Amino acid sequence: MAHAGHNPVLSDLRRRVLALEQSRRAARPPLEFGLEPIDRHLPWGGLPLGTLHECLESGVESEHAAAATLFTAGILARRRGTVLWCLRGRDLFAPALAAVGLGPDRVIYVETWKDGEVLPAMEEALRHGGLAGVVGEVARLGLTASRRLQLAAESSGVPAFVVRRWRSDSERAAADEPSVAFTRWRISAAPSGATSAPGLGRARWRVELLRCRGAEAASWIVEACDAEGRLALPALLPDRPHPQESRSPGDARPLGEARPLGAGGQLRRAAAG
Amino acid sequence: MCRDGARRLVAAVDEAAWTLGVRPGQPVAQVQASIAGLAVVEAVPEEDAAELAGLARWCGRYGPVVQPDPPAGLLLDVEGSSHLFGGEAALMADALRRLRLAGFAAEAGLADTPGAAWALARYRPGQIVARGRTGKALAGLPVAALRLPADTVRGLQLLGIDRVEDLARLPRPDLARRFGRELLDRHDRALGRAADPLSPLVPDTVLQVRLAFPEPLTHLAGIEAALARLLPQLCRELDRRRGGLRRLDAVLRRVDGQPLGFRVGTAAPSRDAAHLGRLVAERLPGLDPGFGIDEIVLAAGRVEPLPERQIAAGDLAGPAGDGEAVALAPLVDRLAVRLGASRIFRAAPVESRIPERSVGRVAPLAPLGTGSWPTVLPRPSRLIEPPERVTAMAVVPDEPPASFTWRGVRHVVRAADGPERVRGEWWRADAEAESLRDYYRVEDTAGRRFWLFRDASMAENGQWWLHGRFA
């Protein structure tokens, strides 16, 4: 190999391969939601790769974080490749992930019981790369921990998702701790639309973007993930909260379509924190 | 049947063919012409050699040194081990009995030298020559018994030299000029006048490397440095054998004689010294070197074939496949060493109607079938296990509840779906045959979805349980 550097053909090839790789890295497409209002609201046109994102639920729901789990699984189901999922407990039910497109062959679970195990495992996996995404169920995510995860994610380009789960009140109090995550989402259940037949229709979520680098807080009502992990906009919004004056420019869309809601006082506090 | 150029020759015959007069070396065409219905099979020398090597390993039970002697012989050194079998005759009888039971047509001879034993097995089967009487025993044998090439034997026979004793009477310089050194060599070796060492079959031993220290190591840094020298050594040897480690056994011998040991497993065969080093390093801090370590032994506990292959850098998420498993193996190993191998897994579908039994754990990089869980059955993303009791109000029996109270909070049911009836698996236990669950998906007024089941019909005083949370 020592003489290879003197070969003009080889060194030229090497330079071209390097250039190709760099352009590919720069042009890494974001993770799109496939929902025009959300993608347009996010500064990157979707969730950027190689960054840290947080998903949480409010109140007692955060113990199970069932919707936030599926929301995260749905995002990753739209990517290709294996997902590493750091569990906190044994209650995650794999068939539900398969039902949103994250089949059993695509997830490797790590049984980590506490934050002290989840966060190092996540960092290790993020630094290793080669994964579609890394998910960790975490109670506390401070500045230092989130910065470490963010740096690890940046180094490999793997997106990192933290699903916040709390059991105790003291953990819940830590919810507003600042972190360096690029986005923070709150998912909560919303009443589903009426169905013509008896039974249950597709579930609905209120998806709140509590904090986002370079964008306002916003919220949408969406239909839950389908078999490919895609969200959808409800056809009708009979109980849509009253539209406030839009905060982002160019937001003049016809009524009936989901629109970002102006962040309420509570949201703004979370965004400032 | 084997081929010699364009000619097809008989290589070996079975007993039935032998009685019909077929002999090795005859042209196949000639034999086929004289005997109708003769079954001819192409010889596969490689398979014969492999079989012979296997047999040689088995013969290791009779003595430490065994040499396969192609095409169909084995040379054993039983000096010093025959008493274990009750003498040389008993040993030979035992070996022959076992070989014949296994379906081999075996004969044996025993003498002072390998050459003489070879001759006896073929020309005086079953004979044991006492110590020092080899010359006399060989005297009456045909010259072919000296392991000579066929041309030499024919040449000797043309000169009327049929027996070994005739050969011994001739002047040696003349023989050497006429037939070459080999004839005399073979003769001398058979009679024990020249050395004839056996080249023993080397068994596949456990691959291990060791490093002993004149001064005991007490510091972690020293142990790490020693491992950094040993691991590449081990990996070079693995490279030569085209193998990869699945398990590395490390033994650190302390000065007080107490061995410290640990094992490191890998998800996929590896001979990457850097990767193995990281795995080992994870385990080192937990070890107590006491007054010092004076020897480190690394053994390849489990080795699997690992051919060379090009590994693409895994910075792009690609489709799941073999290449991806290779790329993820180091990560899985590191997590397994840190947390325990049982805590890294994939969830695989298990054919069971009981929800909590429908998920099984498999190794993280094990190949999975394409099967998944049936998608028509909605399943909660969080399974509450064991199920929690709820108090439910049902307006109509055997209908979903109108409201229920879980953990002190009352949920009014706005819509529901069900029931999905799950019966116990009667083949497991008697109690299961009786058990029955009616699952309902319910949504409360806030849109929260729950997975409830009733363990019996209302008429039988069924209780309501919460088994999972949907999104």
* pLDDT, tens digit (0-9, with 9 covering 90-100), for B248-277: 989 888 888 788 888 888 888 888 888 999
Q: What is the pLDDT of residue A21?
A: 55
pLDDT of residue A68: 94
DSSP assigned state of A15:
H
Tell me whether residues A93 and B338 touch, CB distance under 8 A.
no
Instruction: Please count the structural domains in chain B.
Output: 4
pLDDT, one tens digit per residue, over B14-55 is 878 888 888 887 888 888 888 878 888 888 888 888 888 888
Nearest by CB to A105, from B328, B332, B368: name it.
Answer: B368
pLDDT band at B394 (very low <50, low <70, confident <90, very high): confident
Length of chain B: 471
Euclidean distance between CA atoms B392 and A80, whole angstroms: 43
Asked if residue B140 and residue B62 are part of one domain, the reply reads: yes
Q: Is the domain of B183 the same as that of B219?
A: no
CA B249 to the chain's CA centroid? 17
- The answer to whether residue B441 sits within a structural domain is yes
Distance of alpha carbon B62 from alpha carbon B81, whole angstroms = 7
> Searching chain A, which residue's CA lies closest to the CA of residue B361?
A109
pLDDT confidence of residue A270: 40
Q: Are residues B297 and B393 in the same domain?
A: no
> Among partner residues B317, B347, B377, which is closest to A132 by beta-carbon distance?
B317
Complex ipTM: 0.77
Whether the per-residue pLDDT at B281 is higher than 50: the answer is yes
Q: What is the pLDDT of residue B387?
A: 93
Can you name the CATH fold of A30-192+200-272?
Rossmann fold (3.40.50)
pLDDT computed for residue B203 by the predictor: 63
Residue type, B356: E
Lowest mean pLDDT of A89-103, A131-145, B369-383, name the range. B369-383
Q: Which string of DSSP letters, residue by residue, matches B387-438? A: EEEEEEE-SSTTS--SEEEETTEEEEEEEEEEEEEEE--TTT-HHHHH-EEE
Same domain assignment for residues B56 and B187: yes
Q: Are B127 and B11 contained in the same domain?
A: no
- Is A95 within 8 Å of B359 when comparing Cβ atoms? yes
Cβ pair A82:B320 closer than 8 A? yes
Which residues are bridge partners to B102 per DSSP? none
> Any idea which residue has 């034997």 for tokens?
B153
Which of A66-75, B165-174, B189-198 has the highest average model confidence (pLDDT)?
A66-75
Q: Are residues B133 and B89 in the same domain?
A: yes
Best probe of the A interface among B368, B381, B399, B409, by most A CBs < 10 A, is B381
The alpha-carbon gap from A77 to the nearest alpha carbon of chain B, in Å, equals: 12
Which chain B residues are closer than 8 Å to A82 by Cβ?
Answer: 317, 320, 324, 328
Q: Is residue B321 one of the residues assigned to a domain?
A: no
Residue type for B249, please? Answer: D
N-to-C CA span, chain A: 54
Q: What span, in angstroms and rounded, lies between the C-alpha atoms of B381 and A65?
A: 9
Residue B257 structure tokens: 């004689």
CB A190 within 8 A of CB B447: yes
| Mean pLDDT (chain B, rounded) | 84
Question: Which residues from chain A sit within 8 angstroms of residue B364, using beta carbons?
Answer: 108
User: Which of A96, A124, A130 lies at the smallest CB-CB distance from B327?
Assistant: A130
The answer to whether residues B305 and B410 belong to one domain is no
**Residue B123 — φ and ψ, nearest 5°?**
-115, -20
Residue where a domain terminates, one of B294, B310, B326: B310
Tokens of B243: 């193998």
- The last residue of a domain, from among B141, B159, B191: B191
- Do B390 and B432 belong together in one domain? yes
B158/B103 same-domain check: yes
Cα→Cα distances B261→B249, B252, B339, B466, Å: 7, 6, 18, 47
Contact B194, B205 (CB under 8 A): no
B344 found inside a domain = no
- pLDDT (mean) for B365-374: 80
B165 plus B220 within the same structural domain: no
Shortest CB distance from B382 goes to which of A91, A131, A157? A91
The domain containing residue B234 runs over which residues? Answer: 208-310
Q: What is the pLDDT of residue B204?
A: 63
* Domain-terminating residue out of B191, B217, B233: B191
Q: How confident is the model at residue A245 (pLDDT cuts 50, 70, 90)?
A: very low
Answer yes or no: do B64 and B185 share one domain. Answer: yes
Please state the domain extents for chain A: 30-192+200-272
Report the C-alpha gap between A61 and B447 in whole angstroms: 12
Q: What residue in A sits closest to B343 (Cα-Cα)?
A: A111
Query: Is residue B198 a part of any domain in this protein?
Result: no
Q: Is B318 among the domain residues?
A: no
Cβ pair B346:A64 closer than 8 A: no
Q: Which of residues 121-150 of A touch B (CB under 8 A)?
A: 121, 124-125, 128-132
Distance separating alpha carbons of residues B110 and B129, to the nearest angstrom: 6
Residue B372 lies in a domain: no
Name the pLDDT band for A264 (thresholds 50, 70, 90).
very low
Q: What is d(CA A94, CA A98) in angstroms, rounded to the nearest whole number?
A: 6
Q: Are residues B183 and B243 in the same domain?
A: no
Residue of B nearest to A103 (CA): B372
Q: Which residues of B touch A28 (CB under 8 A)?
A: none
Q: Which of A86-90, B105-109, B194-198 has the lowest mean pLDDT?
A: B194-198
CA B405, B410, B411, B412 torsion-angle sign: positive
